[in-house]
Amino acid sequence: MKTKLAIVIGMIFSAAAAAQTSEIEELKQRIDELEKRQQAVEQEKDEGGITLGGAARFQYSYEDYSDDNSDRGGDFDFDVFRLDANGKIGDLTLSAQYRWYQYMDVLHHAWVGYDFSDSHSGQIGVTQVPFGILPYASHSFFFSSNFYTGLEDDYDMGLNYKFESKRNRLDVAFYKNDEQGGIDGYVSERSDRYSYDVLGVRLEGEGTYDAPSLEVGETNTFNLRYAHTLQLDGGSVELGLSGQFGELEVDGNMDGDHWAAAVHGVINYGAWNVQLQASDYEYDIDGMEVEQMVVGAYAFYDSIPAEAITYTANIAYSLPVKMGPVTNLTFYNDYSLMTDKPGELDDTFMNVTGMAISAGALYTYVDFVVAENQPFIGGTLVGSGDTNKRVNINFGYYF
């Protein structure tokens, strides 16, 4: 009896040991499988790849300077659809964006980059021009007045070098011409572009929005920007200098040049952000006294002073919230002033009080704009008009 009992107990322990061994082997196989998957992910990460994304944006606007718009109670329109491609292939970084508006489709940017080290990198292609506060000297949908002169969020064709450490950033760039290939680029309409560039000289007798009779193209432009960051308890202060100098290619035998300079400061303290910038620019054409230049963007031509000084003062407060899908509210007030224009051209000012709403993949700007002699607010930078107001709501889904 004892022998049979011992045999049964032995069989039970053997079965239990076998089962335990089986579970251990199965666990090892699962661990090996997970490790292989992780290795595959890491290998894919090292090899890189291109990620596609984009956005679709829509807009409501109420404009007190447009009788038709105000009589209708404002207008609700499609704004833009865009596609983005970003990623790495081997050691190269790639980024591109294309946009479709109701009235035009344009390349926003497209460049190839290479990281020489953790601090040194370069880009070639249509890249953002390093000037002033980056990436934007503004918080609102309308940027600052600098944008409409080509001195904020501008993109041109060239080479960029960047050195960046914890406290210092140096940008050195050379642009052969604008993103459309310059004065004789292979495009059907030079005003079909995202960012503003000088495209001509505004001659006497021409209208403010006429296509230029005397065409101009930016060429051989150098940019230098340096910024230093001071670390503070609870925040930081960035102080920076920017310089830009280039040539102008003009129809006929005339040539010219252009330059711009800026000093800026950015203060981040807790939830607060303050942006301050002063900029100066000038366009010169050999053998001519020029007061106005022609710029183009968004499928129309406009005029800007041939020289001016601009001041930017912005403040924003970021508030995390839990209101259904809404996770953050950013309240801001952006102010721009353009003065010291040539001749008797009046000053320009624009004040934007607004709120940016983050709700998952949905991002919304709610802006109230008060401005005088400001593009898209019933005026132009070379105008002499009334103070205008605009309520603007722009929202988009990003994917």
**Is 16 a domain residue?**
no
First to last CA, the chain: 75
Strands 307-323 and 272-285: antiparallel
Contact assessment for residue 146 and residue 310, using Cβ atoms and an 8 Å cutoff: yes
Please list the residues that pair with 105 across neighbouring strands: 100
Residue 287 in any domain: the answer is yes
- Domain CATH number, residue 337: 2.40.160.10
Q: Is residue 314 domain-resident? A: yes
Buried b / exposed e along 136-154 (16+ C-beta atoms within 10 A): bbbbbbbbbbbbbbbbbbb
Instruction: Give the contacts of 205 (CB within 8 A, at least 6 positions apart).
Output: none
Beta-bridge mates of residue 351: 335, 370
Distances (CA, A) of 209 to 33, 204, 296, 345: 66, 13, 9, 16
Containing 77, the helix (H) or strand (E) segment is: strand 75-89
* 8 Å CB contact between 54 and 83: yes
Question: Which amino acid, residue 248?
Answer: L
Per-residue pLDDT of the chain (399 residues; tens, 9 = 90+): 434 434 433 443 344 444 444 444 554 555 555 555 555 545 544 557 999 999 999 999 999 999 999 999 999 999 999 999 999 999 999 999 999 999 999 999 999 999 999 999 999 999 999 999 999 999 999 999 999 999 999 999 999 999 999 999 999 999 999 999 999 999 999 999 999 999 999 999 999 999 999 999 999 999 999 999 999 999 999 999 999 999 999 987 889 999 999 999 999 999 999 999 999 999 999 999 999 999 999 999 999 999 999 999 999 999 999 999 999 999 999 999 999 999 999 999 999 999 999 999 999 999 999 999 999 999 999 999 999 999 999 999 999
Residue 12 lies in a domain: no
Domain that holds residue 65: 50-398
40 belongs to a structural domain: no
**pTM summary value:** 0.87
Residue 125 belongs to some domain of the structure: yes
Q: Quick check: is 171 in a domain?
A: yes
Q: Which amino acid is at 183?
A: I
* Diameter of the chain measured on Cα atoms: 122
Count of the separate structural domains present in the chain: 1
Please list the residues that pair with 303 across neighbouring strands: 294
**What are the residue ranges of helices labelled H in 54-133?**
67-71
